[in-house]
Amino acid sequence: MPQYRYKARDRSGIPLTGVVQAEDPKAVSLSLRELGYQVILVEEFGGLAATLHRLQQRLQPHRPQEVVFFTRQLAMMVRSGLPLMEAVNGIAIQTRSIPFRKALILVVEDLKGGMSFSEALARHPRFFSNFFVSMIRAGEAAGIIDEILERLASVSEEELELRGRIQSALAYPCLLVFMSLSIITFLLVAVLPKFVGIFEEAGAKLPLPTAILLAISRFLSRLWFLVPVAAVGGFFLLRKYARTPMGLYRLHGWQLKVPILGPLIQKTILARFCRIMGALLKSGIQAVPALTITQEIVGNQVVRQALIHIREAVVGGANLADPFRVAQVFPPTLCQMISAGERTGSLDEILLHLSDFYDSEVDRDLRTLTSTLEPILLLTMGLFVGFIALSVLLPIFQLVRVFRR
């Protein structure tokens, strides 16, 4: 089906441009007019320009904030009594991201064609996850789409906030590591060889630390290209290994066992699991389909396999708490809380409270991690720089002794 590029204006006079697939230009114009747009231009879009446009769309990053803003704004508009199709169309007009705007326009067209909202969203998995679609489907069945949208917006905002806190906490240590490596490389490549040349001309015997650093310096100066080649090669080998089911499972298992970082990763996964599982149960989704959805978006293969076994056990007639204890992936506190939630019929509320608890635990661990890493990195950098300085000063002391004699 050919592609057509269009230029139009919305009801407020805001100019819009985009690329759509259609049978002919008349179909494009008719579709735009049905959406309330004033058509300015419709032309066939192909050749190099179309290729560059597709490449640009693929490279353009997707920001999760766009979906959160869409969800929050849509909930407010639906709650105020605005029809769903008109609300989605109004948000699409204001959306700056071209791929996301195009997805919302297609959602509006699907709604106009008689498709349900959840089915229309499911056709765009890049923007709307299985969890998002399942929540919307539950809201449609219960007739509480506005409440579901509010809950989705809250859950998504908490997810983004947690991710932002982790990134902010790790930004300074990563910057410190980069600066340390840059300074040490500069000293080895640019500074040390000049001093070593002077020592060799004077006939001084190089001490062992200086000889070791000289070998490293010569390697970096002459064969520096092997470092990025090895790094890129190692990255691709690791990526290829991670694409195998067993490789990904072992890597994710190793993540959970890494000292210091392992408990932090585990608590982050648990916060995500409790938040999503609790939101699904609170929306009226039963435990088995909720586990099916959660296992696909939990983000760790070890936890995913455990959730698969738990779901199979629940399907076989077991209660929810016992398979969690057998899995040996979840902490005893979580298993006890799930057991209490089953007995009292408040499992959804307990899981949402647990998500808040694990969020606070992640914050505490992040503060501990950053306060521990910073002095360790500074001390390590100081030792390296001190070792380099010592390697330079030792031959100087030997030269001074020779000149005194």
Is residue 3 helix, strand or coil? strand
Task: Say which residues have a Cβ less than 8 Å from residue 309's Cβ, sequence separation at least 6.
Answer: 323, 326, 327
289-322: per-residue pLDDT in tens?
888 888 877 878 898 899 999 999 989 888 888 8
Distances (CA, A) of 275 to 278, 294, 344, 394: 5, 10, 19, 59
Distance in angstroms (rounded) separating the CA atoms of residues 313 and 334: 18
Q: Of 302, 317, 186, 326, give the one whose Cα is nearest residue 249.
A: 302
Confidence at residue 354, expressed as pLDDT on a 0 to 100 scale: 92
Residue 402 has pLDDT above 90, yes or no: no
How many Å is the maximal CA-CA distance in the chain? 99
Nearest to 30 by CA among 42, 14, 13: 42
Domains 3-59 and 64-157 agree in fold: no
- For 35, phi and psi rounded to 5 degrees? -85, 0
Task: Return the beta strands (E) in 134-208 as ranges.
Answer: none
In this prediction, residue 350 carries a pLDDT of 93
Among 55-59, 75-79, 146-150, the least confident range: 55-59
User: One-letter amino acid identity for 4?
Assistant: Y
Q: Per-residue pLDDT averaged across 47-52, rounded?
A: 53
Which residue did the predictor score with more confidence, 305 or 260? Answer: 305
User: In the prediction, which pLDDT does 353 show?
Assistant: 92
Confidence of residue 42 (pLDDT cuts 50, 70, 90): confident
CATH code of the region 64-157:
1.20.81.30
More confident residue, 45 or 129: 129
pLDDT tens column, 1-13? 567 777 777 666 6
Query: Which stretch of DSSP H or E encloses residue 39?
Result: strand 38-45
Mean pLDDT of 116-129: 87
Query: Helix (H, G, I), strand (E, B), or coil: what is residue 4?
Result: strand
At 25 the pLDDT is 79
Question: What superfamily would CATH give domain 166-405?
Answer: Type II secretion system (T2SS), domain F (1.20.81.30)
Rounded-to-integer distance, Cα 167 and Cα 151, Å: 24
Instruction: Look at residue 190 and tell me whether its pLDDT is greater than 60.
Output: yes
Q: How confident is the model at residue 55 (pLDDT cuts 50, 70, 90)?
A: low
Q: What kind of fold does domain 3-59 have according to CATH?
A: Ubiquitin-like (UB roll) (3.10.20)
Chain mean position to CA 72: 21
The secondary element (H helix, E strand) that includes residue 43 is strand 38-45
Strand partners, 21: 3
pLDDT surpasses 80 at 246: yes
- Identify the residue with better confidence: 353 or 202: 353
Q: Where are the domains of the chain?
A: 3-59, 64-157, 166-405
